[in-house]
Structure 1
Amino acid sequence: MRRITHAVAALAMAAAALTTTGAGEALADDWAGCPSGAVCVYPQDQDPAVSPSDVYWSYGAHRLSNQYGNHWVLDNQTGGAHARLCRGSGGTDCVYDIAAQRGVYYDLGPVNSITLDRP
């Protein structure tokens, strides 16, 4: 098991090295079908995330509707922008912050909006 863990870590480090520029900045790419610069919501219980059902590009609050149960939400924005999951319909009462290049498998039942926020 330890060998497998070390092999996975080595592959992750190699992949990170291949996705950086000469200045050490990470290059953004599509991630699980989510385009670079976007935040994506995937269909309920699609695990692993493969093909998003909703793609958000613009900063600000976006209303979610008919989203129940567990969904992957991937923040594939660049430049350190964040996405937040909020109970209020206009981006209020936010309950979860997703940093750029991160994702969360979250119950969207009580979530009514998602915000895309500049760094």
Structure 2
Amino acid sequence: MRKIKMMRTAAALALAVGTMTTLTATQAQAASSHGCQSGYVCMYPGAGWNNDHPTHTFYTYGAHNLSNMYGTYRIFNNQTGGATMRTCTGYNGTGCQGYLPAGWYIDKDMTPINSITLQP
């Protein structure tokens, strides 16, 4: 009888630990998408995900100047809390256009773009 109780307790503990591990793995997967961490804006060369390897990542709010970016890039806004991203033809966040909402991506010709902005 005592042995059966111990086996039940061990089985329940193993199930609980397995469930916690599964939740943690699921949360980690949800935090990153296509190699872009949660809270970031990521850029990939070409009109694809570049094997889930972004070449540019941005985290902080404000303007980010760009250089030597030509042709099409996929821009993925993986920010949270409704934060948006804009592309701008001028440096330091001037001449901005459109808003890319959180969770969305766009394939954009970056040749005329000189900066991006991230805002809450």
- TM-score relative to the length of structure 2: 0.71
Counterpart of 1:53 (choices 52, 55, 70) is 55
More helix by percentage? 2
- Is 1:84 matched with 2:52? no
User: What pairs up with 1:35-74 in 2 under 5 angstroms?
Assistant: 35-43=37-45, 45=46, 47-49=48-50, 50-74=52-76
Q: Is the 8 A contact 1:40 1:55 kept in 2?
A: yes
Rounded Cα–Cα distance in structure 1 between residues aligned with 2:67 and 2:49: 22
How big is the shift at 1:116?
0.5
Instruction: Report how many residues are paired.
Output: 91
Name which of 78, 84, 103 aligns with 2:105: 103
Q: What is the identity percentage for the equivalent residue pairs of Structure 1 and Structure 2?
A: 43
Contact 2:82 2:101 in 1 (8 A): yes
Larger radius of gyration: 2
The normalised TM-score by structure 1 is 0.71
User: 1:42, CA displacement in angstroms?
Assistant: 1.1
Once the 2 structures are TM-superposed, how far is the Cα of residue 46 of structure 1 from its aligned partner? 5.2
Letter paired with 2:78: N
Q: Alpha-carbon deviations, 1:16-64, whole Å to 9, x = none?
A: xxxxxxxxxxxx5211111000001112x15234210011010000001
The residue type paired with residue 115 of structure 1 is T
Cα separation, 2, equivalents of 1:48 and 1:57: 19
3-state SS, counterpart of residue 32 of structure 2: coil
Contact between 2:76 and 2:104, CA under 8 Å: does it hold in 1? Answer: yes
Unaligned runs of 5+ in 2: 1-29
Counterpart in the other structure of 1:34: 36
The structure with the largest strand share of the pair is 2
CA-based RMSD of the aligned residues comes to 1.6
For 1:114, the aligned partner's letter is I
Which one of the candidate residues 95, 112, 115 is aligned to 1:113?
115
